[in-house]
Structure 1
Amino acid sequence: MPDLILHHARIYTQWPDHPWAEAIAIQKGRVIAVGDNDAILPLARPHTRRLHGQSRLALPAFTDAHIHLFNLARRRGQVALYDAASLEDLLARVRDHARHLLPDAWVLGYGWNESAWPERRFPTRHDLDAVTGGRPAVLWRTDLHAAVANSEALRRAGITPATHDPPSGVIDRDERGQPTGVLRELAINLVRRVIPPMTEAQAATNLRAVARDLHALGVVAAHDQRMKDNAEEGPGALRLYQRLAARGDLPLRVSCNLEAAHLDDLIELGIQSGFGNEWVRFGHVKLFADGSLGARTAWMLEPYENDPGNTGMFLTPPEEMAAIIQKAHRHGIAISIHAIGDRANRTVLDIFAETIAGGSDAPPLIPHRIEHVQTIQPQDQPRLARLGLTASMQPIHCTDDIPNTDRLWGARGRNTYPFRNLWDARTLLAFGSDAPVASPNPWWGIHAAVTRQRRDGTPSDGWYPNQRLTVQEAVWAYTLGPAAAIGQAHQQGRLAPGYLADLILLDRDIFTIPPHDLPHTRVLLTLLGGEPVHELITDH
């Protein structure tokens, strides 16, 4: 009999047999019935908790299909710089943060974006030296594809004028050949490797705090992504999630990716994509085709605007990409590959086409996927659906990146985040945030997908508005899309009998309000496995 009944709500089930309901009954973490109030309320027993929905809209809870969850937990307590309005503002925030640290503690931060600053330049080591009091410091740019380190951090990492650029990385230098402190792509790892690691206990504490924030936004599941050449992060994350799940203490459902360095180990152990349970599973092996727009390292078919010698760069040589993808496909392991530029996306699609055509005795049980698909030529857009690939996209990047896209890619912006074209081609869309690169707020993401506008209402007519989605389509891409992307559409992403009881109740009807109000949506109730993990309503 039901443990909980939510009644007198407007429940959008995404279940074709019963798309709308008034009440839902939950037992042992799963939905056992949906229907009208008269049909569901009589199922209650003395122990059943009854929650009055106050005629508010309920939806399946959201999945963030691209979030650096473990990385986000590790960054808890670092200085967030998303809102720094100038270089001077950034330095003031860093100075204030450093003042409260121990003398030898690392000053760590993330989220800065110079594109909207009056100076429009990256910080340098000299800038940071003036505000960090001799402590080592490194601040990641918002896209995590560039960072700036101060002189002490460079010293500890052994970076000198004689240090060569690592493969797929760049150490920026001034006119005298001295490192400026700016590190791009894999050069960041030279400093990252000397930062003291976080203990598992602290990581668990931080993860719970991150989960509380996500629950308040309506997010109960995550596809945890990896960073390039950070092979130790994935196993550490997977170990933590398993240990918490074994104690019944994991606060989110997690599909955990592993870096490509572990492919041979996975094959030898016979582990295939999808291995796990409803709480923790191994998802994909992560690869990187190229860099990012903001770091000017996305791999393009034509040069960047006003930079005729720069078409970006690949981070994994195409031959190596092909060998890894083909090996994984033969052994039941799905690939998740970062591709930003149009050349990167075309190259990746060519490799997947050749791989899939080559066949496999044990193909992956879940789809391969391309992460970001930021800019892709019109002739390449239908290929994702034809190849059965997931387009894992982040709508908030679409609008956050408008200034940089217009400045660095010009008219090629029309091929950037083509949500409508991909949806109409029947591509499997799975939406996420890329946090901590951007805010994990899915309501900001839905607003971006539906309006193609920034939250200040610009541009007034939307940015390439022909690529807008409807609210219903965007909700699908935060619920059933991510479920299908990890082979879980049979039990996640809709509210139907037998499905996991992951549900949210909202303070407004997102299907009828003006689109400019979407970012202000508040979640009143979040259920994870039928248990309230965020609650602003009372029993009635």
Structure 2
Amino acid sequence: MGTLWHGGKVRTLRTADEVHDAVFVKNGDVVEVGTYHHILKHHSNDISEEINLHGSVMYPGFVDSHLHMIGHGEKLLKLDLSEVESIKELKEILTNAARFIPEGQWLLAEGFNENLYQNHTVPDRYILDEVSTTHPIMLTRVCRHAITTNTLGLELSKIDSKTIDPPGGLIERDDSGEPTGYMHDQAQELVKKVLPEEGFTYIEKALSTSLEDLFKHGFTGGHSEDLNYYGDAEKTLQTFFKVIDGENRKFRTNLLVHHEVAEQIFKKAEHHQHPYIDLGSVKIFADGALGGRTALLSEPYSDDPETRGMSIHSKEQLSLIVKEARKKQMPVAIHTIGDLALDYAVAAIEKYPVPSGKRDRLIHLQVVNQDLLDRLKKLPVALDIQPRFVASDFPWVEERLGEERLDYSFAWKKMLDHGLICAGGSDAPIEPIDPLLGIHAAVTRRKPSENHVGYNEKEKLSLYEALQLFTIGSAKAIVKEDRQGMIAPGYQADFTVLSSDLFDLEPDEWLNVKVERTIVDNTTMYERKK
């Protein structure tokens, strides 16, 4: 017996204009989409339940194609600095927080962004020492590719002027050669390894908190990378199995597996069968981020001609990691922000092609060029883009890249026009999880509070294209476009129900739209209380 959903609009997203008023679902799959009276007439013997949408609008279930689910939960649980706009405000918040923890205990906070502060001042050890010299402090940058710590934090980590930069990492130093407390990419691990272990009770709480927030924002699934950051990859995976139990919590989860733990995880792959959790691509980092000037560019940074960024692996090492993934018959997902990092990644997957029937994934692609787009067209690859980065990174990113590179920066429309598969994500906790913010950024290329035509406006997407990023685009990234991403017969009954039709509203009005229901496998995971 099945369920008849009716009483509102049904946006199938098979086309930009297709709208119906009813959907019939049986055994977790869509059977028919059409008018209420037609479905009632033809399936009356199979309908055991009718659910009225009361004027709401049903879309295919939104799926975030790139996030860190546990990290998002940590951001919700920890001190969040992402909205702080000055060093003064940051110090006040940290000083207040330090009052409530014992001396010697770490003060941890997430999401600082020096580009919001006057003179782009990084809160280094000297600033953080003004907050406390009796609490070690670690602040994670919004991009999660850098951290900063105070003098006590450096001492506990045994980092001094003689400490050598680790491979793929950078310790910032002052004019006398002393570390400033600001560390990029792999250098972060020098501090993180001395942090107290949180324990898996905390990890479970963070993941549960994250999942409830994802449901609240209308997500029916997500592609997440978490397994290499919490001490034991296998225990982290088992925590996912425990939290997403398939009964009380259903969430279509595709887990990227960091290459450093791939051997451990895939060795027991036969024991990792789960109806809502798949092991996805092997995750590799090729470079850092534009904010800290560690994204690897083919030409120097315009605001710092002394650097082109940093490669996490050499071109040869990256190819070898891809080669190892192919031995496991696995696709790869490579973090590439700079154009030279993308060149390294494309060369590796050209040399070692993905197994038949699978797609590689390239993540972020904030700086590209025409040659790279032409090469990407020839590959079975999906591009994970984060539209919200446009709102967060402009206008300061113009200084980093210079006028001549902007035409191929954050160039989502060019990618689609080249026929490339694009999937949409938030990279939460780096950006807000709200999909409507991502859709807004893709269409307007500005912050909601701003009033201008948008940064690099010719790269704007239509609303239909933006919605496809978070629906069929995410499905194509994991080669499930025949079962996910639309509302059509044979597709899984995963739906996001909004209070209003986005197509009837102006972009700034989208941010007032509420998620009414989140439905996975025809099961309501979230319903807004009236």
TM range (shorter): over 0.9
Counterparts of 1:50-449 in structure 2, within 5 Å, are 50-132=50-132, 134-226=134-226, 230=229, 232=231, 234-246=233-245, 248-265=247-264, 276-356=273-353, 363=355, 365-411=357-403, 412-449=405-442
When residues 133 and 49 of structure 1 are mapped into structure 2, their CA distance, relative to the original with a 3 A threshold, is farther
SS in 1 for 2:316: helix
TM-score (norm 2): 0.93
The answer (yes or no) to whether the contact 1:334–1:364 under 8 Å persists in 2 is: no
Q: Distance in 2 between matches of 1:386 and 1:321?
A: 20
1:280 to partner: Cα distance? 0.5
SS in 1 for 2:352: helix
SS in 1 for 2:496: strand
The answer (yes or no) to whether the contact 1:290–1:344 under 8 Å persists in 2 is: yes
Q: Distance in 2 between matches of 1:457 and 1:378?
A: 30
Q: Distance in 2 between matches of 1:245 and 1:447?
A: 29
SS in 2 for 1:287: strand
Per-residue CA deviations over 1:88-111 (Å, capped at 9, x if unaligned) read 111111222222334443211111
Q: Distance in 2 between matches of 1:323 and 1:74?
A: 33
When residues 518 and 17 of structure 1 are mapped into structure 2, their CA distance, relative to the original with a 3 A threshold, is closer
When residues 488 and 90 of structure 1 are mapped into structure 2, their CA distance, relative to the original with a 3 A threshold, is same
Q: Higher mean Cα deviation, 336-345 or 173-182?
A: 173-182
When residues 495 and 313 of structure 1 are mapped into structure 2, their CA distance, relative to the original with a 3 A threshold, is same
Per-residue CA deviations over 1:429-455 (Å, capped at 9, x if unaligned) read 111001111111111111111111222
| Equivalent of residue 526 in structure 1, options 497, 518, 528 | 518
Q: Distance in 1 between matches of 2:380 and 2:204?
A: 36
TM-score (norm 1): 0.91
Q: Distance in 1 between matches of 2:398 and 2:248?
A: 45
Q: Higher mean Cα deviation, 335-344 or 258-267?
A: 258-267
Runs of 4 or more consecutive aligned structure 1 residues displaced over 6 Å after TM superposition: 44-47
Q: Distance in 1 between matches of 2:105 and 2:27?
A: 46
**Structure 2 unaligned residues grouped into runs of 5+:** none
Structure 1 vs Structure 2: percent identity of aligned residues?
27
The answer on 1:464 being equivalent to 2:456 is yes
SS in 2 for 1:109: strand
1:364 to partner: Cα distance? 5.7
When residues 525 and 456 of structure 1 are mapped into structure 2, their CA distance, relative to the original with a 3 A threshold, is same
Which residue of 2 is the match for residue 481 of structure 1?
473
SS in 1 for 2:220: strand
1:520 to partner: Cα distance? 2.9
1:463 to partner: Cα distance? 1.1
The answer (yes or no) to whether the contact 1:87–1:119 under 8 Å persists in 2 is: no
Q: Distance in 2 between matches of 1:45 and 1:105?
A: 64
Q: Higher mean Cα deviation, 61-70 or 211-220?
A: 211-220
Per-residue CA deviations over 1:204-228 (Å, capped at 9, x if unaligned) read 222222122111211121111259x
Q: Distance in 2 between matches of 1:83 and 1:112?
A: 8
SS in 2 for 1:101: coil
1:263 to partner: Cα distance? 3.8
Q: Distance in 2 between matches of 1:111 and 1:235?
A: 27
1:284 to partner: Cα distance? 1.0
1:147 to partner: Cα distance? 1.0
1:318 to partner: Cα distance? 0.8
The answer (yes or no) to whether the contact 2:392–2:447 under 8 Å persists in 1 is: yes
1:325 to partner: Cα distance? 1.1
- Aligned CA-pair RMSD: 2.5
